[in-house]
Amino acid sequence: MKTHTIPMLAIATMLSMVSSAFAFGAAPAPPSNVVAVDAPDDAGEAIILSWALSPNDIFGTLESDTQATDPDLVVSVYYIERRTDSAAGNGSISEEDQGWQQISESAAGEVTTTDRKVQRGWSYSYRVCAVDIQKETSSWAATEEPVRPIMQPFNMSKAWLAIFMLMFGGLIAYFINVARSGKKLWVRPIAGLAAIDEAVGRATEMGRPVLFVTGIQDINEIQTLAGLTVLSRVAKTAAEYGAQIEVPTCRSLVMAAARETVESAYLAAGRPDSYQPDRIHYLTDEQFAFVAGVTGYMVREEPAACIYMGGFYAESLILAETGNHIGAIQVAGTAMPSQLPFFVAACDYTLIGEEFFAASAYLSDDPLQIGSLKGQDYGKFISVLILVIGICFATFASMSGSDENVWGASKNFIKDNMLGSAGLLPTGSGDTDIEGDDS
């Protein structure tokens, strides 16, 4: 049972001390103005019921200035009952539902509830009564006419969401198309890539190998694919300089893909004879066993450069720590937000999140990647634009001290309609928030 126990009891005790008039056996006054409407923007599966509080509801009298309520009549809960009036199609109403059935209770102070156990096209009547702390019930207040839930053709509360989806999706699709048509799309050079070249160069000078780890995710993950793209660049540089490259993998499929990548990079560099497939090997699927294998190699062989590009989890810090200990130059790139701090703190250079994908797109010349990146950039640009405009309106509204002017209205349009669920256009007054029952 829903009751606002503590405040209610406190007030009730207080009132009973000042008032000696007990109306024993009397019932609280009923709620009024019971209205049931079909819930908007749905498939005809809900009815929203609202009522005005009983005069004996302490939450109502606290706000308005009516006379003090008799403490024994204080409303603790409202009972809500439903009757099914007619069915649709060939459905039949069960005997129980033909009479009044209690469907829920609402705590004192609440003025609305949503009935989600209704059938589309059937019609229903509702009634509400107030119950006091003595369990005395008021007379019923019923809806004036039955209500029938119907299905709306389009969910208008999501109209702007649909527009945004089309806009962002359209931008990305457009740029992918442009990239596929062969047009060169410009992406700014990524500073981290220079750091990788430098690391490979130093390894060559020192005559020690380069270690490359593509993360512990499988081949179908986008981070692994981005890691492989970077690997192809690293392998090409290594082939040109004549450095050795070591690639332990955590998944057998990643090993196969990595071998293919490195082989073609050596081929492109004109050094197919220096390619050593054995140096690209699968260790184990198990996270910590894999790390143990890799760090074991690091301590034994002391690679001069360690490059981590891919999806990493908790092992990130173990790898970075060992690399730091052996004095290797370390470059990392991952889109795992929780692992980025460890890479940033322990590595010489880190590609942060999207920068990692951008690096991959920059290197690959793959129209899919570059086109998506460009589309996302424009998506971001639009987001920033809306944000800045919204902030301007909000600031002006706040400075003018009221929402009742053009600034306030514009801010509310952006926040409630465009970015909220209030529908395509402002409806003027009226509460359109169907989830308004969370007080």
Q: Minimum Å distance from CB 271 to other proteins? A: 26
Near other proteins by CB under 8 A: residue from 288, 405, 406, 427: 288
- Find the part of the chain contacting other proteins (CB under 8 A) among 12-20, 66-74, 86-94, 165-173: 165-173
- Judged by CB under 8 A, the residue of 16, 271, 377, 413 near other proteins is 377
Please check whether residue 304 is in contact with residue 208, taking contact to mean a CB–CB distance below 8 angstroms: yes
Distances in Å between the alpha carbon of 129 and those of 125, 136, 390, 433? 14, 10, 45, 25
Report H helices in 55-186: 58-63, 95-98, 159-180
Q: Can you tell me which of 165, 267, 406, 425 binds other proteins, judged by CB under 8 A?
A: 165
CB of 301 to other proteins, least distance (A): 17
- Alpha-carbon gap, residue 245 to 213, rounded angstroms: 11
- Residue 76 DSSP label: E
Stretch that binds other proteins, among 125-133, 234-242, 273-281, 395-403 (CB under 8 A): 395-403
* Residue 29 identity (one-letter amino acid): A
Between 137 and 155, name the residue whose CB sits nearer to other proteins.
155
CA distance from start to end of the chain: 17
Sign of CA dihedral 227, 213, 347, 312: positive
- Binding-site member from 373, 422, 423, 432 for other proteins (CB under 8 A): 373
Residue of 195, 191, 204, 197 whose CA lies nearest to 304: 204
Among 380, 405, 406, 427, binds other proteins (CB under 8 A): 380
Give, as ranges, the residues between 410 and 429 that touch other proteins (CB under 8 A). Answer: 411, 414-415, 419-421
Cβ 230 to other proteins shortest distance, Å: 16
Task: Show the tokens assigned to 438.
Answer: 């969370």
The correct pick among 346, 351, 363, 422 for binding other proteins (CB under 8 A) is 346
Q: Which of 288, 329, 296, 345 is nearest to 312 (CA)?
A: 288
Residues numbered 185-244 forming contacts with other proteins, rule: CB under 8 A: 186-189, 220, 222, 225
Order of strands, sheet of 47-52, starting from the edge strand that comes earlier in the sequence: 32-38, 47-52, 112-115
User: Which DSSP helix (H) or strand (E) runs through 33?
Assistant: strand 32-38
Least distance from C-beta 29 to other proteins, angstroms?
21
Nearest to 56 by CA among 113, 124, 136, 125: 136
Separation between Cα atoms, residue 127 and residue 141, nearest integer Å: 5
Told to check if 352 binds other proteins by CB under 8 A, we report: yes
Which of 265, 304, 357, 364 is in the footprint of other proteins by CB under 8 A?
A: 357
Question: Pick from 16, 244, 264, 324: which binds other proteins (CB under 8 A)?
Answer: 324
The residue among 60 and 323 lying less far from other proteins, judged by its C-beta, is: 323
* Min separation Cβ 18 and other proteins, Å: 26
Task: Tell me which residue of 271, 262, 364, 260 sits closest to 307, measured CA to CA.
Answer: 262
**DSSP strands (E only) in 161-320:** 210-215, 245-249, 280-282, 305-311
Nearer to other proteins, 210 or 291 (CB): 291
Binding map of other proteins across residues 290-319, x = CB under 8 A, - = no contact:
--x---x-----------------x--xx-
- Write phi, then psi, for 138 (nearest 5 degrees): -80, 175
Q: Give the range of 89-97, 139-147, 236-244, 377-385 binding other proteins by CB under 8 A.
A: 377-385
C-alpha triplet 369, 374, 379: angle, nearest 5°: 120
Dihedrals φ, ψ of 266, to 5°? -65, -40
Hey, which residues between 53 and 72 contact other proteins (CB under 8 A)? none
Interface stretch with other proteins, choices 10-18, 128-136, 239-247, 371-379 (CB under 8 A): 371-379
The whole-angstrom separation of Cα 263 and Cα 273 is 10
Give the nearest distance from C-beta 193 to other proteins in angstroms: 13
Contact segment (CB under 8 A) with other proteins among 14-22, 228-236, 304-312, 322-330 equals 322-330
Size of the residue set binding other proteins (CB under 8 A): 106
Segment 81-120, which members bind other proteins (CB under 8 A)?
Answer: 103-104, 107-110, 114, 116-117
What is the rounded CA–CA span in Å between residue 305 and residue 202? 8
124-163 positions binding other proteins, by CB under 8 A: 151-155, 158, 160-162
35, 173, 178, 268: residue in contact with other proteins (rule CB under 8 A): 173
Contacting range for other proteins; rule: CB under 8 A; set: 29-37, 83-91, 131-139, 409-417: 409-417
